[in-house]
Amino acid sequence: MASTEGRGPRQIFAAFQWSMKGLAACFRHEASFRLEVWIAVVVVPLGLWLGNGGVEKVLLILFPMLVLSAELLNSAIEAVVDKVSPEFHELAGRAKDMGSAAVFILLTMVAVTWALILGPRWF
């Protein structure tokens, strides 16, 4: 029988605390994350207000939230790369560039989604 020791409400609360530490660290140390958080503070409520029906509302808020998730992962990659390889290395630079590209693709999807959903109403 598998052990359930360490699981349950206490473990869930500990995982929540670690997540909050990660969010706080990224907000404190990453200017791009701070900017994206402030943009999300504006566009998420706006998306909920402007979307017609559940599907539109979800689509209008999904990609801004994915941008934040990707930025967290990108920042984690950069931190690990900087720790392991403080001097410039082609592979380290490539890893950082790829993380940045993932965020860029999601930012593009924010613009495309908003344009496709809201554009026809405004133009």
Token digits of residue 27: 């907000």
pLDDT digits (tens, 9 = 90+) for 42-68: 999 999 999 999 999 999 999 999 999
Q: Is 5 a catalytic residue?
A: no
Q: What is the pLDDT of residue 45?
A: 97
- Residue tagged active-site, from 5, 36, 56, 71: 71
Q: Report residues of the chain scoring pLDDT below 50.
A: none
**pTM summary value:** 0.86
Would you say 45 and 65 are in contact if contact means Cβ atoms under 8 Å apart? no
Token pair for 39: 């943009």
The answer to whether the annotation marks 82 as part of a ligand binding site is no
**Residue 5 annotated as binding site:** no
Spell out the residues 6+ positions from residue 100 whose beta carbon is closer than 8 angstroms to its own: 74
Which pLDDT value is given to residue 6?
65
CATH 1.10.287.3610 fits 31-122, yes or no: yes
Domain boundaries, the chain: 31-122
